[in-house]
Structure 1
């Protein structure tokens, strides 16, 4: 198996005059693009960054994401993408934990962290740097098992964890996506979902075929459909929330999807009724994949010709993993029986950065314990029925209850809290909080919302906060979140 840098170089050599990447303002051929990526790799070398040094990326959707990927791969460095929607305090933890040598991105986002760290702002500073090194290159000796990225995720407890992904992991995911999306050499890939997440995994498919990539800075359903039609995009990644917003828009016009062959829906579950509506309105252009950052995108794959027959399934097992469904004693369960989904293979991460304890808990004998519950039918199709950990998925983004609970508990008048996710037609799930006061200070929902605003990204803030006298608990003192969800159903009637 090759490395990402080697694949990009091969594409550039094969298609020098073909458009490699474009956004609303700029277009680069493969020759121009690879020259820019090589110049950036030469800058990294000149700056003294040794193999394995971590380079942070903090910016909105821009074509620089694509050339950064290649430059980092060529120089043998490690990319650390940071979700620009997070709160600056959350960024600060990840920046410190990763031990970044350099942070690159939008100035307003970088400056908001208030950290003293070497930075390179996208814009004039970035372009001037590239111009200084155009015509130069640095290509390190890189192996397929070398680290390419550290992508931060969170557990339901503790701090975010950095998932270590090798070139082998990333390319395994790219080959899998290429298969399920039925990619060929004429495809044009569109990116509107954040390039710090699932869209970036689809980006790597381009180096397998020498494809053109088009980056969109924002998602507005009607404008986006116009752009897809104009740019003749054929393959893209969308979270289910985006799909719902698109097909339910009053001016939705399916003819504008005429060039679209496959839309990979991933990032969160989609209700069978919503999926059927999408198929009815847009046609057989949707594929589904199931994965985690720890096993990018393709633990399972559902092709577009099959999806209508199994609306509730996330597909068959991917080509670079083995999968088992096991009980709490790690015994494999029969088809049709629910258990935890575990996976092993080239797709599975190397471990968690600087976190041996979490690595040992999640990777056991090479098997990734996903924390997701599911079952498999006799034909090998996987069905996810619940999450073992109480992760809330809203708009395709994971929200971890413990993170929100920790912030709510900062209020001196709070005794204890419980945060749950409840179904929502638009976002998938909404964040709901229950708070028990301690009687020391007045506690209001408005105060708690403001507290969340000061410490969390806006999408993590509770949609509703209920002040209650007590929380239901088991005989062991554990809060019964299932009962809390039922209570919310009763209150909402």
Structure 2
């Protein structure tokens, strides 16, 4: 394998006049793009940064994310993307934990944190640096096992952990995504999801083919479809929440997706009924991948020619990872049996930054223990059951919230659901469901209870169902079940 910097330089040499990246107002061809990235790497070198120093990036969706990826890679530094949707106190924790030497980004976001370290604001200051160093370059000796990024987990259980990802990890993910998204040399990659996270993994595919990337500053379903049509985007990453908003929008027009080849729908689970709806409305343009920050995107991969027939599966095992499903003692279970999904290979992180205990708890003999429960069928397709920590134990029997959520989502008037376990004096825990309607038709508690009665064993039915306007979500669009449990206590008091 190569490094990200080397791959980007090769693309620039091969396609100097092709547009590398653009947004609503700007466009840079590969010659301009690589010159800007090299100028930034020279600037980092002039600041006496050493190989392995960390640089924080705190900004909304902007094309600078993409050129900074290359600049950091060329300089042998480590990028630390900070999700702009997080609270300044969360940013401060990550800044201190990572030991940043510099932070680059939007002035308003950075000033809210008020970090005690050098700052480079996007805009005039940033462009002045590029102008000063344009024509200069610096390249550090970087190997594929050197760190490229420290990406912090969403922190749903305590402080976020810094996942250490090497160039090898990132390129293994890019090669996997290229395969499952059926990427070729004519594709155009679109970014509407945050470039601090999932969409950034797709951005690295561009350096394998010399592709054009289009960055959108925000996601508004109707405008987004217009942009896709105008820019002829063919490949993108969207979280299921974004897909649902797009296809359920009153003015949704599938014709505007004419150039779209594949949408990687990942980042959180999607109910089979909602996936079916997306396929029926938009066509066979969706692929699915399952992964974690600790093994980016492609632990499993579901191509678009398979997805319609396997709505409840996340695909077969990815190209650059080995996967086993094990019991509580770490022993592999038989096909059809539920166990914890563990993974090993080029895709798997090097560990957690400054956290030996968490690394030892999660990486055992090179195997990443994902905390996800699932099973594998006879044809090799993996099926996610639920997060290990979210399993409800009622009367000594395991109940998987996702199974109940799948049934609730069968109601055509349901937008999304959240099933949790709450303390119960008799059974230890009982099942409680929260449901958000989509506004297309009436949704009642009686209807939802009836659905569960018709489709689930009696002990799996929710004891209570609450219809609400929204569910608490992380900045990445994942429903926060821990917070939902806390809110439930407030509801019943």
Runs of 4+ in 1 over 6 A off after TM superposition: 457-461
Matching of residue 115 in structure 1 with residue 115 in structure 2:
yes
Structure 1: distance between partners of 2:50 and 2:179: 35
2:268/2:478 contact within 8 Å kept:
no
1:156/1:389 contact within 8 Å kept:
no
The equivalent of 1:140 in structure 2 is 140
The equivalent of 2:292 in structure 1 is 292
What's the CA shift string for 1:181-219, capped at 9, x where partnerless? Answer: 000000000000000010000000000000000000000
The equivalent of 1:48 in structure 2 is 48
Aligned residue runs from structure 1 range 401-416, under 5 A:
none
2:487 counterpart (458, 465, 471): 465
Structure 1: distance between partners of 2:147 and 2:305: 36
Deviation at residue 114 of structure 1 after TM alignment: 2.3
Matching of residue 106 in structure 1 with residue 109 in structure 2:
no
Matching of residue 241 in structure 1 with residue 241 in structure 2:
yes
Residues 142 and 421 (structure 1), Cα distance of their counterparts in 2 relative to 1, 3 Å cut: farther
The equivalent of 2:330 in structure 1 is 330
Structure 1: distance between partners of 2:79 and 2:319: 25
The equivalent of 2:368 in structure 1 is 368
What's the CA shift string for 1:135-170, capped at 9, x where partnerless? Answer: 000000000000000000155543211000000000
Q: Any idea what SS the aligned residue of 2:343 has?
A: strand
Structure 2: distance between partners of 1:107 and 1:149: 22
Deviation at residue 424 of structure 1 after TM alignment: 4.6
Matching of residue 12 in structure 1 with residue 7 in structure 2:
no
Structure 2: distance between partners of 1:467 and 1:209: 52
RMSD: 2.6
Residues 310 and 423 (structure 1), Cα distance of their counterparts in 2 relative to 1, 3 Å cut: farther
The equivalent of 2:449 in structure 1 is none
The equivalent of 2:211 in structure 1 is 211
Using structure 1 for the length normalisation, give the TM-score: 0.82
Aligned residue runs from structure 1 range 390-409, under 5 A:
390=390
Deviation at residue 117 of structure 1 after TM alignment: 1.4
Structure 2: distance between partners of 1:291 and 1:35: 34
The equivalent of 1:380 in structure 2 is 380
Aligned residue runs from structure 1 range 418-457, under 5 A:
422=434, 424=436
Structure 2 residues not aligned, in runs of 5+: 392-400, 403-417, 421-431, 439-471
Deviation at residue 293 of structure 1 after TM alignment: 0.1
Using structure 2 for the length normalisation, give the TM-score: 0.82
The equivalent of 1:358 in structure 2 is 358
2:191/2:213 contact within 8 Å kept:
yes
The equivalent of 1:406 in structure 2 is none
What's the CA shift string for 1:11-43, capped at 9, x where partnerless? Answer: 000000000000001000000000000000000
Deviation at residue 55 of structure 1 after TM alignment: 0.4
Aligned residue runs from structure 1 range 213-232, under 5 A:
213-232=213-232
Q: Any idea what SS the aligned residue of 2:34 has?
A: helix
| Number of residue pairs the alignment of both structures matches | 421
2:239/2:266 contact within 8 Å kept:
yes
Structure 1: distance between partners of 2:142 and 2:192: 30
The equivalent of 2:67 in structure 1 is 67
Matching of residue 340 in structure 1 with residue 362 in structure 2:
no
Residues 296 and 459 (structure 1), Cα distance of their counterparts in 2 relative to 1, 3 Å cut: closer
Deviation at residue 423 of structure 1 after TM alignment: 5.5
2:267/2:478 contact within 8 Å kept:
no
Which range moved further: 110-119 or 317-326? Answer: 110-119
